[in-house]
Structure 1
Amino acid sequence: MKVVVFGASTSTTSINKTLAIYAANFIENADVQVLDLNDYDVPLFSEDMEREIGQADGAKAFLADIAAADALIVSFAEHNGSYTAAYKNLFDWSTRIEREVFQNKPAVYLATSPGPGGAKSVLAAATGSAPYFGADLKASLSIPSFYENFDLDSGALRSIELAEELQKAVEALK
Structure 2
Amino acid sequence: MDQCAVDELYEAFAVLAGSDPDHCSYPKGYMKRQAVFACNTCVQAGMEPAGVCLACANTCHDGHDICELYTKRNFRCDCGNEKFDGFKCKLDTDKEGQNVKNWYNHNYLGRYCSCDRPYPDEDDQVNEEMIQCIVCEDWFHEKHLQAPAVDCEALMEMICGRCMTRAPFLQTYAAHFAGGAV
Whether the TM-score (by the shorter chain) exceeds 0.5 is no
Higher strand share: 1
TM-score scaled to structure 1, two decimals?
0.30
Higher helix share: 1
For CA contacts below 8 A with separation 6 or more, give which structure has more relative contact order: 1
TM-score scaled to structure 2, two decimals?
0.29
